[in-house]
Structure 1
Amino acid sequence: MTQVQHGGSPGNPRRSGGGRGGDRVMVPEADFESYYGRQIVKPAPWEHDIAIYLFTGGVAAGSSLLAAGADLTGRPALRRVARFGSLTSLLVSVGALVHDLGKPSRFLNMLRVAKPTSPMSVGTWILSLHGPFAGVAAVAEIAAMLPARWKRGPVRLLLALGRPAGIVGALTAPPVAAYTGVLLSDTATPAWHSAFKEIPFVFCGSAAAASGGLGLLGAPVAEAGPARAFAVGGALVELATEQQMEKSMGLSAETLHQGRPGRMMRASKALTVAGALGALAGRRNRVVSAVSGAALMAGSLCTRLGVYEAGIASAKDPKYTVVPQRERVDRGEPVRYRS
């Protein structure tokens, strides 16, 4: 592949100036491999901690919604699984973010100033608002398991706060599930930015599938109806919006089909389809229900890893930046995307 040096450009070949040889081709049409030997877009400086953060944040959000529904419909076992799952996922999510940042003080520094134009700032505040309510609901669940003689005073108050805290946690859950998609698409990374309309919906569907899968994995089949509906509905949304996302991404959709990102996305689709079908078939079978839930969670994790790694791959190859820009210029459109 030809490297474009100073004076070279893709598109039409360069021709000589005036004179009889004015139409003679001087420089062949070039393909972009690099720009002065450098990448055009710098890949996001994130490790795989961020992919884990994306996944566990979605599970935490979806589980909060599921827990509130289980509480209001009298399904204590499903409520317990969802509340514990939400808090555990939230702690892992924050831990992964702090690990990527390097030290806890950097996370706390993001809370010093609220920047409405920054998805990271808004997301940090949303997560900080959601977390305490999810935590109170989970601690109330632990209090409910204590012997009756201990359920007095502060413990009784904690039990009373469980439902209100769970409801507030559920109300703040959708932004937690969606904002990570906004965070990715707000970057200059070609694969992420070209899918800015669809990624939040893909991530929300993936979060519902994973949290519903957690409910199927941990709750008895007699109480797992809402988890099953949540999981299957989330899987359908995820699969449908993934298809639309690939269509809207243009050239950068290649990264979802090549190398490690391609393997992750193929595994995601296979696990999600198998998990959804198993969830429907295992209505009365505890083992089938649990295996289906695990498949849905694994599929959701593969989705986050695939999208994450596709973005990194698209930033490393300049063609995913240059070729779409050239195509937009040829169509008379702005070179930059407009949200």
Structure 2
Amino acid sequence: MVPEPEFTSYYGRPVVKAPPWENPIAVYFVLGGVAGGSSLLALGAQLADLPELRRNSRISAVAAAGVGAIALVTDLGRPERFLNMLRTIKLTSPMSLGSWILAAFSTGAGVAAVSEVDRMTDCRAPLGPLRKVLRAAEHPAGVVAAVFAAPLAAYTAVLLSDTAVPTWNAAREDLPFVFVSSAALASGGLGIITTSVSQARPARALAVLGAAGDLVATQVMERRMDPVAAEPLHEGGPGQTLRWSRRLVAVGGLGALLGGGNRIVAAASGAALLAGSALTRFGVLHAGLNSAADPRYTIEPQKRRLAARRRAGITHDSITTAG
């Protein structure tokens, strides 16, 4: 009997070098989604004349973006590295575009949130004539933040899948849908927690739609991935994290749908949705890092893709060789 092959590499080093990303990046991914979804919710509340939901969502958006930016700078090591990324725009780089998306979003969200805080404090800040300018700018600024909300929630998925890390790259077609849905349910959950039941109906609707979208998008993504590259999503710590994520999203979505009219049930559902969204980001991050550490997750999918190209008659390009 021929023994099963063992996938190894020179000196035991990984075939693919994983990026040096740690938990602060996952925190940034989570809070970027919350910030983006909250700005969309704030715009809806602005148009529907729901001042409490608008206020809470605007403040949530800028707070999440601010803490997320701190987590990003923490991972970068030096704050000036983020500023250096704003020196140019590289359309082919998700990181370059993401830096500009974050900057534009934060500007709009910040103006809208400052106006809300000024209103909450009965206009006690010594703004003078700037107050009229602030009031005139807050609604356009809210629109600007909403325009950049979806890109902010989605670009981090593109950033992951644009790498050669096997699990992330195999999920490149569907991971943005997972992240956007996860952002919607998280921001909806936060809106449910912070807003009274009478004004939280749009937040409940966003939470339920986001939960349904997240569960469906995750299943579609895993089925369309190479089965070997998808294994890290189901095994070890990341697998357990993602299983708990799905449970919390399902429970939180049902709670928001069926018990959203009760303040206690609504708050518990919102907390479950926020936790589920966070676990999704952490699970995906660590599953990808695990896939880069094992040569098998690089080699087996490559061999399968090569065989498929040869079966299709593609044998004279830079990837295949003539049979």
TMscore range, shorter length = over 0.9
- AA of the residue aligned to 1:293: G
Distance 1:137 1:262, change over 3 A: same
Cα offsets for 1:63-102 (capped at 9, x unmatched): 0000111111111111111111101100111111111111
In our comparison, the structure showing a higher alpha carbon Rg is 1
SS at match of 2:49: coil
Matched, 1:241 2:241: no
Output the CA distance in 1 between the equivalents of 2:134 and 2:287.
45
Which residue is 1:255 aligned to? 232
Letter in 1 for 2:258: A
CA distance in 1, matches of 2:89, 2:123: 44
Which one of the candidate residues 46, 62, 70 is aligned to 1:87?
A: 62
Cα contact 1:261–1:309 (8 A) shared by 2? yes
Inter-partner Cα distance in structure 2 for 1:215 and 1:149: 27
Asked if the contact 2:118/2:124 (under 8 Å) is kept, the reply is no
- 1:199 lines up with 2:175 in the alignment: yes
1:271 correspondence with 2:264: no
Amino acid at match of 2:138: G
The offset of 1:144, in angstroms, is 1.4
In the TM superposition, residue 147 of structure 1 has moved relative to its aligned partner by: 2.6
In structure 1, runs of 5+ residues without a counterpart are 1-24
Alignment-derived partner of residue 319 in structure 1: 296
TM-score by length of 2: 0.92
Instruction: Report the Cα offset of residue 29 of structure 1.
Output: 5.4
1:55 to 2:24 alignment: no
Tell me which amino acid in the other structure corresponds to 1:223.
Answer: Q
Across the aligned residues of Structure 1 and Structure 2, the Cα RMSD in angstroms comes to 1.8
C-alpha deviation, 1:194, in angstroms: 0.4
Q: Distance in 2 between matches of 1:148 and 1:204?
A: 36
In structure 2, what is the Cα distance between the partners aligned to 1:171 and 1:116?
18
Match for residue 139 of structure 2?
A: 163
Residue 115 of structure 1 corresponds to 90
Aligned position for 1:102? 77
Report the more deviating stretch, 144-153 or 209-218.
144-153
* Secondary structure at the counterpart of residue 231 of structure 1: helix
Which residue does the alignment assign to 2:197?
Answer: 221
Q: What amino acid sits opposite 1:306 in the alignment?
A: G
Conserved 8 A contact 1:143-1:159: no
Tell me the TM-score normalised to structure 1 length: 0.88
Cα offset, 1:329, TM superposition: 1.9
Say if 1:192 and 1:148 are closer, same or farther in 2 by CA, change over 3 A. Answer: closer
Q: Is the 8 A contact 2:187 2:207 kept in 1?
A: yes
* Percent of pairs with identical residues: 52
Runs of 4+ in structure 1 deviating by more than 4 angstroms, as ranges, are 148-152, 333-336
